[in-house]
Amino acid sequence: MTRTIHLALHPYGVGGPGQHGLWKDPRVAKNASIDIDYYIRLAKAAEHALFDALFIVDSQFINATYPAHYLNRLEPLTLLSAVATHTRHIGLVGTASSTYNSPFNLARRFASLDHISGGRAGWNVVTSFDTGTSRNFGLDEHLDYTARYGRALEFVRVARGLWDSYEDDAFPADVERGVFLDPAKLHALDHEGEHFKVAGPLNLSRSPQGQPVIFQAGVSEEGRDLAARVAEGIYAPGGTLQQAQEYYADIKKRTASYGRDPDHVKIFIHGGPVVAATDEAARRREREIFEEDNDFERNLALLGRSFGAYDFGAHDLDAPFPDVAHLAEKGGRTGAAALIERARTENLTLRQVAESVNQFRGSPFVGAPGTVADTIEKWFDAGTFDGINLAFRTEDELDLFVDGVVPILQKRGLFRTEYAADTLRGNLGLPVPANRHTREPRLADG
């Protein structure tokens, strides 16, 4: 079977990390992040272009320095449930924390989205990056890495067990016999583990795709290991072609080491294409975007987010980078450790580190439509991704990609010309999980 590219859309709203000036763009409504019509419109455009999924990120902690989109945005599952009623094929992937939710409640919410959408739900499992989130849930401290990832693994396993509460034919609804439910086909979970004690069963049957698709974004060792154990879709950091190749090979190898089929884990790299009539115009526009977003105070605040929303403004900007390693242990440890190490080895000041957070790093996917398509094909053939999680600043820029790049990819046989199925699993080429109480897995057929 010919391998083809998967595409997902990640809306920016009024601007997340690094898009500090997006809310000022006259083409962006100032209420975009809380306007359900904005998301419905984007989802319909992506579905018209045959994208696999709409991806919604989330977090549960802010302060006044956080990016504009973070300050005022809709809760993902509520948002996606509304979008589901206006779409038919596109997958709906929402971010939810395994640290600050309970398995029964979250399993029920995702299963509900899966039913509402006819089998198009996906869960992006996160352990929560922001250490301040703990204070919104009555806890004095954020859990450390080991506890968060151990909890996440058990959480996913509990959710999957709950999603198997009913066998597929548990509801005969036989009026003549007076039998609505076959009780032998309803199964309690009775889970008792290190982090959770959940009786079950869930009061919701399986959807047409069996279970929501599990996504994860693993960068640290713990994150990569969790992804290899449970993820069916992975949001990868990207970086250079070589870095993307190394990440792709590592995850596929880890997946196989756990006895899983590496083809049943779809790796999506982040892509922020800039498409214009000519390569020169696209490169010029990419530089303009950087300048629009290059706000030092915002970059300094963004740096603090990796260290538990720490206020670096209290330090001398031109003094050596302060010793804040202890603040990263429970937050963004991997990225923070890299910043600390570079500051130490290169003897950087706080100002220099803050400036480096938003250095100009050109995207590989910039140029005229043919140029962008060529680069996508090159990276795909080089074994860097199964799909791209695309982010566009405006709806106009999404249209430029859809109208210019997608037809070229289709002509080359790299992207679908019609949906293969009505479910997210079907379009990703993933099997329907076996209900642990009944049958073997089967390929999703829609």
Instruction: Enumerate the known binding-site residues for FMN.
Output: 58, 95, 149, 220
The one-character DSSP state at 99 is: S
Reference 428, options 125, 162, 204, 119; nearest CA is 119
- Cis peptide leading into 183, omega within 30 of 0? no
The one-character DSSP state at 137 is: G
Reference 16, options 85, 67, 79, 52; nearest CA is 67
Dihedral over alpha carbons 279, 272, 220, 246 (to 10 degrees): -40
Alpha carbons 29 and 35: distance in angstroms, whole number: 9
Reference 395, options 3, 46, 7; nearest CA is 46
How many C-beta neighbours within 10 Å does residue 65 have?
A: 17
SS3 426: helix
Q: Are 96 and 106 in contact (CB under 8 A)?
A: yes
DSSP E strand boundaries for 264-312: 266-271, 274-275
Helix (H) or strand (E) holding 53: strand 53-56
Find how far residue 233's CA is from the centre of its chain.
9
The one-character DSSP state at 95 is: E
Q: Are 46 and 9 in contact (CB under 8 A)?
A: yes
Distances (CA, A) of 44 to 89, 254, 305, 389, 422: 10, 36, 33, 16, 15
The residue whose two tokens read 């996606």 is: 80
Dihedral over alpha carbons 371, 373, 378, 379 (to 10 degrees): 110
